[in-house]
Structure 1
Amino acid sequence: MNKPVDIEDRLWEYLDGAGSGDERLFIEQLIASNAEWKAKYQELLELQDLLSHRLELDEPSMRFTQNIMEAISKYHIAPAAKSYINKRIVWGIAGFFICTILGFLIAALAQIHWTAGSTTDSSFINNINLDKVEASGIFNKTYTTIFMMINVVLGLAALDMYLRRKKAVGSKQ
């Protein structure tokens, strides 16, 4: 138990305030009664005082900092995101989602019986019965699975194109 490493670890825990009250009391008794523990405790107290109060951190000189900043400025810095994002891809994705939303709207509006309502009512919105819109034909398991598979394939193709382009650009430099 009196190995130097064990003594040092337990004393550091004591100095840091870690451990239960019984452990701290036991270590205090060891420091008071054992010369080896007392010497090691004094040594660690001096080291802790040196590290926390007397030791100044060295700061690099202004010339060194300026040299580093000049060296960094010589390298090519990555451009802002605006310059390397392809606008055609963004517009293509936006077009896909707009077409999808329009397709769903057309499918929903095609199922409404426009002639079923009477024209004598004051509100046209009250004549539309949305409970009769049947969405199970559009959102069934087969169509959803096909839609997800197509999206996964398109996503993998887009990722492949992106990685190939990045590899080609990296090999040119």
Structure 2
Amino acid sequence: MDSQLPIEARLWEYIDGHSAATERAAIEQLLATNSSWQQKYQELLDLHQLMQEHIELEQPGLRFSKSVMESIAFNQITPAARTYINKRVIWGVATFFLLSILGFLVYGLAQLQWSSGNASDPSKLTHVIDKLESTDLALPSSYLYALMLVIVVMGLMLLDMVLRNKKKEKTV
């Protein structure tokens, strides 16, 4: 420990048993040779024993406990997550994504050419694979615009719901 620390701080650490072994040896040597250190050590040791014998921690009064409980009850306790998350929003988002996936599947299946052929002929199989690779699965612009319109409307509805909830919280 730094020898520049005040005598009291070093002695308190010695009394409490928090000083290192080398520091403890140095303090013991100072206590054996220096009278001011001995006098200060005796004062601090008496104070330490007095604190251990006579000072007991007091229990807080009943009024204090009651006021703490009242202040806790006065503040609004945060509800569990499932009570403040609107289930309709979650169901709406899930429905939108499921309908989008279903729409893409229906569109993709409608674009396929369903014709029966001889599966044993490898040339026809490569012809079918080539046809699948050349199939254009891009959405026509009218479908794309309709999809974007639905997304924007749902986003505006979500924004409206969030703003209404914030307004309700401010008034309550």
Please give the TM-score of this superposition, normalised by the length of structure 2. 0.51
User: C-alpha root-mean-square deviation of aligned residues, in Å?
Assistant: 4.7
Query: What amino acid sits opposite 1:72 in the alignment?
Result: E
Aligned to 2:167: 164
Q: Go from structure 1 to structure 2 and tell me whether the alpha carbon gap of 1:101 and 1:40 turns closer, same or farther (over 3 Å shift).
A: farther
Aligned-residue offset at 1:32:
1.5
Aligned to 2:7: 7
Aligned to 1:72: 70
Structure 1 gap segments, 5+ residues each = 119-131, 138-145
Aligned to 1:121: none
Q: Which runs of 4+ in 1 moved over 6 A?
A: 150-157
Corresponding residue pairs, total: 135
Structure 2 gap segments, 5+ residues each = 118-131, 133-137, 139-147
Aligned to 2:93: 96
Q: Go from structure 1 to structure 2 and tell me whether the alpha carbon gap of 1:76 and 1:10 turns closer, same or farther (over 3 Å shift).
A: closer
Q: Go from structure 1 to structure 2 and tell me whether the alpha carbon gap of 1:163 and 1:42 turns closer, same or farther (over 3 Å shift).
A: farther
Aligned-residue offset at 1:158:
5.7
Q: Go from structure 1 to structure 2 and tell me whether the alpha carbon gap of 1:79 and 1:48 turns closer, same or farther (over 3 Å shift).
A: closer
Aligned-residue offset at 1:153:
8.5
* Alpha-carbon separation, structure 2, partners of 1:40 and 1:32: 13
Deviations, residues 121-162 of structure 1 (Å, cap 9, x unaligned): xxxxxxxxxxx9xxxx8xxxxxxxx9xxx8999887665544
Q: Go from structure 1 to structure 2 and tell me whether the alpha carbon gap of 1:80 and 1:19 turns closer, same or farther (over 3 Å shift).
A: closer
Aligned-residue offset at 1:29:
0.9
Q: Which has the larger radius of gyration?
A: 2
Deviations, residues 9-39 of structure 1 (Å, cap 9, x unaligned): 1112222333432222111111121111112
**Per the alignment, in what secondary structure is the counterpart of residue 18 of structure 2?**
coil
**Per the alignment, in what secondary structure is the counterpart of residue 37 of structure 1?**
helix
Q: Go from structure 1 to structure 2 and tell me whether the alpha carbon gap of 1:31 and 1:67 turns closer, same or farther (over 3 Å shift).
A: closer
* Alpha-carbon separation, structure 2, partners of 1:49 and 1:114: 97
Aligned to 2:40: 40
Query: What amino acid sits opposite 1:24 in the alignment?
Result: R
**Per the alignment, in what secondary structure is the counterpart of residue 47 of structure 1?**
helix
The answer to whether 1:81 aligns with 2:79 is yes
> Where in structure 2 are the equivalents of 1:89-128 lying within 5 Å?
89-104=86-101, 106-108=103-105, 110-111=107-108, 115=114
Aligned-residue offset at 1:59:
2.5
Identical aligned residues as a percent:
28
Higher relative contact order (CA 8 A, sep 6+): 2
Please give the TM-score of this superposition, normalised by the length of structure 1. 0.50
Query: What amino acid sits opposite 2:79 in the alignment?
Result: A
